[in-house]
Structures are given as structure tokens and as C-alpha cells.
Chain A
Amino acid sequence: MSTTQDSPKPTKPKAARKKKVAARKATARKAPARSKPVEKPVSVLIVGAGFAGLGMAIRLKQAGIEDFIILERGNAVGGTWRDNQYPGAACDIPSNLYSYSFAPNPNWSRSFSGSEEILDYVHHLVAEFELEKHIRFEQNVAELRFDEKQGIWTATTDSNNTFTGRAAVMAQGPLANCSFPSITGIEDYKGKKIHSARWDHDYDFAGKNVAVIGTGASGIQIIPELVKVAKHVKVFQRTPGWVMPRPDFATPEWNKLLFRKLPASQQAMRDLLYWSHESMALAVIWNSPLTRIAERIGKWHLRRQVKDRWLRRQLTPDFTIGCKRVLISNDYYPALQKENAKLITWPIARISEKGIRTVEGIEHQVDCIVFATGFDVSNAGTPFPVIGRDGRVMGDEWKGGAQAYKSINVSGYPNLFLTFGPNSGPGHNSALVYMESQLEYALKGVRKIVGEDLKVLDVRKDVQQRYNKAIQKRLARTNWNSGCKSWYLTEDGYNATMYPGFATQYAAQMADFKEDDYETA
């Protein structure tokens, strides 16, 4: 089995990459960027042209619903995968599982594809299902408001355009917004600052002293790539995560051919991957004997790749595996041990004009600081005001932590469907598997609204409360709530992010659309 480290991906020349990005943008711009308000409400208003929004669009089309529009704040599709194009960016779920079952791709080049290839897949979805004409680019939604009398959702953008729809799907993504962390003195720093989710492809790292803050999923992918080109890389770690081996290999040509000629073989592979990931839930979600085995694998991986006892201690996690996101990498630990790399575990005291001062009293002077510090996750609010029945504001109602019914509907906000809503996150399986269940559920709701000409399809408050009580009870027994601090939890430790169960359980709950749970008008 080859690994990422053994057979590194060929790095594309910068010019070629720029050309490709420009071509993607040109494709995007070709789409009509209509800014006039649409007078007649469409059936479905979708916010966001990432995986979720485009997936919804495809399923609507396949169901014969053509009058929908997608509002996209950027000038290209792809969402998270458009934004996260930092060097080394890749998915940590195998591509055959991190793709839509209704749009399989037999040509994945590797078992774990890079972000560029995933973005190509997204573009392929747009072309194959002719979605471009539905997308309104550069329409950044500033408010989503429900008019109960008419049963209409109105999206107002920050350029004051309005779009209306009978149903709305919030597919803006949970990992769409990012900002620099609030570290003392960050504004004093005179060098280059780059956020992993807003990569500056024009910045040349060759010969530069670089600091990377953050060793989560993005950090551990960026660091090995930076170590290859920069003069020196200092990695500032607060909490070490569990890093597991990554079974990454190039897909042989015969395999691609097999998938093309015999699609059932690709489905069989997907099923195999699905069930093997499902089994990981037993180690990752709940504290079980399998958790200990998973931790042993993690420690074995560390011991095998890191010989120095102190460095190993610095990299050893002190929380139960699964409590935070499990990381996978074959080249992170070796990269840290290169001559031009150093792991710093001293707490950061402040950022100064020339670099980072740590508590051991030393100023680490660098030309550039890369912030791999994650995203602004809305687990206690919404990215823009969402106003429902009687003027209620979702963000206000979610201040103590977000909650919804089956992650998709919120009482008081009729005809509105959330993707990646509260408690829909997997810790062990492909997010797109969960997504497909959400899309099917939303489709059923939309069909009901349009088919029965409903003005209001609103989940009952008591049903939602009962659901959340049960979910929180189940969450209390999971590893996520076992005491570590993570982005899954709010400041108060409320878990509004993860689904405490198997993907199969989640799919089963989403397959069941109970009309009695809803109030209709």
C-alpha cells in the first residue's frame, strides 16, 4: 500500500493552477447574475451553492421540480471546497463515500481525494445536471424572513435584492465563515497573515520563516506541504489531537475502468466503505472496548513515526478518542521532525510586530503566520437573521444552543429546511451520507407544500422539544460530551452539533416523514 508520504501527489505548477482557477471563475461568471427581484415566488429558494445546495437542486430536478433558485454569495460554486484550497487540502473520508450516490464518479484518482479534485466533481455536478441557470452569484443573503399570510420566504441580500420562494433551504454550510482568532497583539503583527480557509495562492513561501497556529484537520494537512517549501516552519500547538494512519493510495486504471463498466461494483465499494465507517461509531461516538483499540492504533501510529520520547509526549492526546475530531495523516508526524520544522507547545502570550511571543519568554520571529484555526461555527446562532412566524428570530431562540426537529425543521419557521442543521454531524461517517437523508426529507416536505398548496408546514413545538430532550440525553453518554473542549460544543458545553448514533439510525429517522408532527395551513 502506498501512502501519501511515499508517493506524494505531483504538485501542479502555479501557472497551471492559476489558469484552472481562472477557468472555473470564468465558468461561474458565465451564469446569469441576475440581480433584479424575482416577482413570482419560486417553489424553492436555496441559500448556498456548495455540496448541500447543489445536492438539493439535483434532487429537486430529479423529482421534476424546476422552479428553484440558488443564491450564492461567491462568484463560483463549491462552498467549503472552493474556499479551502490550501496546499494539501483533502477530504478525510474516502472519495467513494464522500460523493453523492445519485451522482457517482468512477474516476477518483485516489482513495482520499484532494480538494481540487473534489471541486472538479462539484463543477461536474453543475454541468451534468444543468444547474448554472438556477444559480444567482454574488447574492449574499443578509436576511431571510417568512410572511405567514402569503406563506412566502423572502431573502434579502446585502445589495438589497430580494428573492422569494414558497419553501426555503438553508444550505449555507456549517464551515463557511472564518476569522482570525482573538490573540492579543494580532493587529500589531507586520508580517503576512493567511487563514487556511482563505488561502493566498500568490504568496511565495520559498525561503520564508513561517508559523502555523493550529493543529486540527486543516493544520495537519498544510504543515507537511509548507515544510517542503518554506525555509523554516514553527507549529504552535495548543492541544494535540488523535492522528490515525491514512490508507491513501492512487486508484489503478483497471479500477476506474471497472467502476465505469460495472457501476454496481462501485456501489459495492461504497457499501463496504459505508459499513466499515459505521463500525467506527462504536469506537468514536461511545466509550467502548473498541475506543481503547482505536486509541492503541493512534498510539502505535505515533510510536512508529516519532522516536523521541518528549516529542511523543507533546503529541499524545489527553482526551478520549472521538471527543474532538479524529485526524488522519501519514505525513504530519514525519513533517514535524524535518530539520526545518519545530513543534512549539508553549502557550502563546501574544503576537508582536515581528512574530509570536510564547510564555517561555521567547519571540519567534516569522515572515508569515498561517492561521489554521478553524471556522466560526454557528452552534448558538445563525449566520444571518432568520425571521419566522410573529417576528421571532432564530438566532435569539438559539442563544443557549441551536436546536431543531430531526436537525432539519425548526418550530415557528415553517417551510424552512436546514441542511447540516443542529445535531446532524457525524464523527465517524461521510457527511454526505447524512446530507442525502436530509435532501430526501426536504424533498418530501417541498412536495407536500407544493402538491397540497400549503402556506404553512410547521413542525410542532412539543414534538421538537421531545426530540431534543431525547437527543441531549443520548448525547450525554457520548465521547463528545466526555469533558474536552471542542467546536462541537457551545461555550457552556451544550452539544448542538453532533448526531449521537449510527448513520443508519439517522437515515432511518429521516426516511420517516410523519405528517402528524407538523401543523399545516
Chain B
Amino acid sequence: MASIDLDKMLEKIKSTQWALSDIDWDAPGAELITEEQWPKLKEFMADLMWIEHVGARAFAALAKKAPTDTLREIYTYFHAEEQRHANAEMALMRRWGMLEGDELPEPNINLRIVIEWLDRYADEMPVYVLGTVVPMLEIALDGALCTFLLDTVKDPVCHQAFEKINDDESRHLGVGFTVMEMQGRSASYIKMAQMMARVMDPRLILGIASYMPLLNKMRDNVIAMGLPEEKLYKAMQKFERIGGRTEEGRRNPWFQLIKQHGRWVTNRSNRVYHVPVDALVKVTGMVPRKALPAVPSWVKELTYEPTTTR
């Protein structure tokens, strides 16, 4: 498949904007959430919302490093759009009575660590590192989780909101894969050398150390929701399928690395990977929240209110 025209994509993004006030959050249907569903859904939605939010922050970092003006503007929009998704998901939580007062839902510890990492180091990362990781996160976590949600929840407002969210996400993925292919166009060995130099960067190693347990933790949450983990793996395999559809895509060393990692994640019998990473999930689960610094102020920009005067 040929890469998309980014200028046309930017125009499309600008012309297909929606706002929270386009949805009637008080419309009937909230009662379709069952009592049994409610507590698990609450946790699930909190995770989903935080993934959107960390995705937003990653796009903000990408915007800083984008190689062209068009891509910079696209990422600036994507940053805001991911925030919109998080806001909309919070509005759904509010609708379902899952928010206490004005409190933000608590992120799980692995997300909390990723937030910390993004805040400190994301802006320093080269564009193609996050440019490859973000599509994986979007396709695997965001995309797969959304599908699970729609299969489970009958509330029509939830479906209405996710129809809009998914439209945005399909554009995010389209751009994501195009950028991955752009990276694969130059000589592989140079890219490989550059990549290896990057991998040696301790800041990136810290990032990898936060990313790996996050995926496993999400898998655990998916299972806790009573959903088959195979669906998550299927979504992750989609990354390999789409990302590797062209020669350029396959030549991107970051794609190869993330793809390989995806294979490890989806192969539960790979004990070499899963034993230490699951241990990491357990260890991070023991990190007292007080040990982490205060959440960065970009987190406080989340809101479930469609309109505001302050």
C-alpha cells in the first residue's frame, strides 16, 4: 500500500474535528451497565483513559521532533485528539458514576511510571523511536481495548463516542505506519547503527523498562475483565502485518525490534521473556505511590466537562 499524502491528511484532520459537546452525555442508556460489570469496567476505563493520555503526551514529544512542518502540525493535532479521547472516556466514566467528585481516576503503577518517564525523557527521544512505539500501543492497547469495550458494553452513548474515537484512531495509525515506512527508506545499516547507538542511551533503556511491564500488566487487566487475551494478541499481530506490508516498512529497524517484542509478548510459552517481565510487574506493583514524584501538570489538563469557563 502506498504511503498516504500527509498534506491531504492534515486537511482531513482539520475538517473532521468533533467536540465533547457533540454528544449528549445525559441521553438514556447508562442503566445498561450491569452491576457485575461496573467495578471491572471502572478499572478498565481508568486504564484506557490513561493510555490515551500517555499516548497524547507521546504525540506532544513527536511534535517537537517532527522532521517536517506538516508532520509537526499533524502530531500537534494528534496530541490534542488523544487528549480528547481521554476527556471523552472520562465523560463516560462520569456518566456511569465512576468518578468521585472532580477526582481524576488513579492510574495503575505501570502507567504512572510511564507518565514519569514520558515527562522526563520523551522530548529527548528521536522521532522514530516514539514514532514506532506509539502505533504499537495504539493498535494493541487502544484499538484492541476499544473493540473489547464495544463487544461488552451496550450503552449507545458509549458506542457513539467510540465511533468518533475510532475514526480518529484510524488516521493516527495511517500516519503512524506511513512515518515508519519513511524511516525505512534509507540504507538499513546506517539506521541500524544509529538505532543501536540510541538503544545504548540509558534514558531509552529506562523507557523500555517501563514499556515492557505495561504491556504485561494490560494483558493481566484484559484477562481480569473476562476477555480472551487472544484478542489482544491478534491486535498486536496486526501491527506486524500492516507495518511489514512494504519493503520500506520492513527495513525500519525499529519496526523489526517492536515486532519481535510483540512476538515475545504474544507467545505465553516464552518464559525467557515472561518470567522476568511478570516479575517486574509484581515488583512495580509494590512501589509505594508516595515514592513517585507529584504528577506532572500536563495530567491536570484532563477534564470530563464539554464546556468550561475556567
Contacts and interface: CB of A to CB of B under 8 A. Distances in A.
B309 A359 contact: no
A346 to B, nearest CB: 5
Interface string B287-310: 000000000111001010111111
A358 B310 CA distance: 14
Contact of B18 (A308, A310, A347, A361): A361
A309 B87 contact: no
Interface in A282-341: 308-311, 313, 318
A126 to B, nearest CB: 46
A363 B303 CA distance: 11
A360 B296 contact: no
B308 A365 contact: yes
Q: Name, among B18, B123, B305, B307, the residue most crowded by chain A CB atoms within 10 Å (CB to CB).
A: B307
A232 B309 contact: yes
Interface stretch (B74-82, B139-147, B213-221): B74-82
Nearest to A349: B17
A123 interface: no
B297 A361 contact: no
B84 A360 contact: yes
Contacts of B308: 362-365
A346 B83 contact: yes
Interface string A451-493: 0000000000000000000000000000000000100000000
Contact of B80 (A318, A342, A350, A358): A358
> Chain A interface mostly helix, strand, loop or mixed?
mixed
Contacts of A134: none
Contacts of A349: 17, 19
Contacts of A111: none
Contacts of B17: 349-350, 357, 359
Contacts of B76: 347
* Interface size of A as a range: 20 to 34
Contact of A310 (B87, B297, B305, B306): B297
A363 B18 CA distance: 11
Contacts of A161: none
Given A309-B119, A310-B296, A359 B77 contact: yes
Interface in B258-310: 296-298, 301, 303, 305-310
Contacts of B301: 360
B19 A362 contact: yes
Given A310-B298, A349-B19, A350-B17, A359 B310 contact: no
A107 interface: no
B20 interface: yes
Given A318-B64, A349-B17, A361 B307 contact: no
A336 to B, nearest CB: 13
A209 interface: yes
Interface string B10-51: 000000011111000000000000000000000000000000
B297 A311 contact: yes
A349 B20 CA distance: 12
Given A359-B17, A359-B81, A360-B301, 13 more contacts: A209-B310, A309-B119, A309-B296, A313-B123, A347-B76, A357-B21, A360-B84, A361-B87, A363-B20, A364-B307, A364-B309, A365-B309, A485-B69
**Would you list the 4 A-B pairs with minimal beta carbon distance, nearest first?**
A359-B80, A361-B84, A349-B17, A360-B83
14 contacts: A232-B310, A310-B297, A342-B310, A350-B17, A357-B17, A357-B21, A359-B77, A360-B80, A360-B84, A360-B87, A361-B19, A361-B87, A364-B307, A365-B309
